Chain A
Amino acid sequence: MTDLYTVTDLHLSVPDLTRKPILGPAPRIEILKGISFALPKGKILGIVGGSGSGKSTLGRAMVRLMEPTAGSIGFDGQDITHAPEATLRPLRRRFQMIFQDPMSSLNPRHRVGQIVQSPVALHGLADPQARMLEALDQVGLGRSYANRFPHELSGGQRQRVGIARAIALRPDFILADEIVSGLDVSSQAQVLTLLERLVADLGLTLAFISHDLSVIRRLCSHVLVLHQGVIVENAPTAQVFARPQADYTRDLLRAIPLPDPDQPWD
């Protein structure tokens, strides 16, 4: 099986502006400290960690919204670590992102149709409207939603619009950053079921960032556990849950409140 992503010894640091002296450069904070993994085509990779673990930064580096400081990211055989925007532009159609907060990631003044359609037109693809309608069907919203505004939709429906916008471009890879954490459990279940089906139907590769290991277990075939910018666990999902290797993974598992009053929780 070929790897869609190959990430090798990835480092990323940002300037710490709260400690910047009046003259001279700010000291740097290391967010990612040497991350290496491969993501095979067609797989769903879960990326887990607490706040500040660097999981969103890693995701943003993978879709090159942030530029790594050192190391390399290969996408489908092409090194995109420091690729300039001109080189990235044609690739951007192929790696899409779904954001955490569907309200702030959808333009409130645009109708759903326009939101889903304009990236297709922007990439110069044929027949944007047909693709938009098809994508709305695929996420189970139906074509009548094309004329609605985001504020007329529920949280789960908004997140479906985010998914439709991503798949309308027929990408190879989708990064989903905490896309269900703002939804209530029933909508979470619906969005996850949808995502699972789309990955299978469209042959997508997915990286799913979450702090919720229960969701990861349901969806992902492989898990990376991040803690303070380092991978502490990289294993198939079943193994992570059956035999967690790292102390941090065990802490995470123990902290999840199961709907069971008899679960020891200390």
Chain B
Amino acid sequence: MSFLVIRNLTARLKGTDQRLLRGVSLDVAAGEVRGLVGESGAGKSMIGKAILGTLPKAVEITGGEILLDGTDLLRLPPARRRSLIGATAALIPQDPLTALNPSRRIGGQITDRLVDILGWTRARADARARELLDEVQIPDADRVLGAYPHELSGGMRQRILIASAFAAEPKLIIADEPTTALDVTVQKQILRLIGAMQARHGTALLFVTHDLGVVSKVCQSLSILYGGLVVEDTLARDFFAGPRHAYSRALLAATPKYTDPQASLVPVPEAVLAEVQAEVAAYDGRAT
């Protein structure tokens, strides 16, 4: 069984009948990278937050299962759930500047988690931080561990967050648009770094993005979301050979492609939007 299994997950805005996730099911096996793709508002980040238990208070999970190594997170008491997530899952966030505390040095921000959640000694955590910086190819570890976030470049900060995510050897990492704030050359380095780390550690990786170009470089499988509904769940290779769903095809045509300027950056046609919206409505009809 896959390390992360989500079955029929539904969520809504608390106190309303506004549905946010509509029966989402997906699997991520150890060593697998799955892309979670959709436009803003499709619910892709929300799935990551549902797993990590960091949903905003206004969002309420109304059904389904999130199995982490066979244990249903939604049926655990909160304290047990937090300690299980802390020990087995981690997040690589989107914006490396807001994710780091601006008034604290880098070193402590990597090691706190190890000391506080896993109960490591300071010395062991410090040694691990050095090892990790080496692994994410940051030279001059001493200077960087003693630096404040503003002293480092965007790419360097994202490396720190990758190091921090892998610090406790998690079994599952959720990367939420980790390269959207970076320029293409740095993005390439960071994606290759994430890929290499993930492969070496055999981590299950859920990669949230709206960029199908990025998906084609790092993911083996992907789920396409629209309005909280999974419209296509497929292997990356099959997807790029020919998406099955009209909405997925439109999304692929909207993706910038400098080699073919005429056939890229095409807005999703109204007819396709109407089709996928009808599917969302049909789901709602079945669910009520």
Which residue numbers of A lie inside 8 Å of B, CB to CB? 50-52, 154-155, 181, 183-190, 192-193, 211-218, 241, 251-253, 255-261, 263, 265
Contacts and interface: CB of A to CB of B under 8 A. Distances in A.
Given A154-B40, A214-B258, A215-B256, A185 B212 contact: yes
A186 B257 contact: no
B265 A265 contact: no
A217 B260 CA distance: 9
Max chain B CB contacts within 10 Å: which of A154, A184, A216? A184
A263 B216 contact: yes
B40 A185 contact: no
B267 A261 contact: no
A129 to B, nearest CB: 30
Nearest to A18: B151
Contacts of B259: 258
Given A185-B212, A218-B256, A257 B265 contact: no
A187 B186 contact: no
A190 to B, nearest CB: 5
A219 to B, nearest CB: 9
B265 A51 contact: no
Contacts of A258: 213, 216, 257-259
Contact of B216 (A50, A190, A253, A259): A259
B237 interface: yes
22 contacts: A52-B153, A184-B40, A184-B210, A185-B210, A185-B212, A185-B265, A211-B183, A212-B184, A212-B256, A214-B256, A215-B265, A217-B258, A218-B264, A241-B258, A253-B258, A257-B213, A257-B214, A259-B240, A259-B255, A261-B236, A265-B188, A265-B217
B169 to A, nearest CB: 28
Q: Which 10 A-B pairs have the closest CB atoms?
A: A214-B256, A257-B213, A214-B258, A184-B210, A259-B212, A255-B184, A189-B267, A255-B188, A211-B183, A50-B183
B185 A252 contact: yes
Contact of A259 (B153, B183, B213, B268): B213
A217 B266 contact: no
B261 interface: yes
Max chain B CB contacts within 10 Å: which of A186, A213, A217, A260? A186
B183 A257 contact: no
B92 to A, nearest CB: 17
Contacts of B266: 189
Contact of B41 (A154, A259, A265): A154
A187 to B, nearest CB: 7
Interface residues of B, number: 40
A200 to B, nearest CB: 17
A264 to B, nearest CB: 11
Contacts of A255: 184-185, 187-188
Max chain A CB contacts within 10 Å: which of B182, B215, B264, B267? B267
A259 B267 contact: no
A112 to B, nearest CB: 19
Contact of B254 (A52, A185, A251): A185
Given A184-B40, A214-B264, A260 B154 contact: no
Contacts of B280: none
A212 B256 CA distance: 9
A11 B51 CA distance: 51
B182 to A, nearest CB: 7
Interface in B161-183: 180, 182-183
A201 to B, nearest CB: 18
A257 B185 contact: no
A187 B40 CA distance: 9
B211 to A, nearest CB: 7
A192 B252 CA distance: 17
Interface string B256-288: 111101001111100000000000000000000
A181 B250 CA distance: 19
B229 interface: no
A218 B265 contact: yes
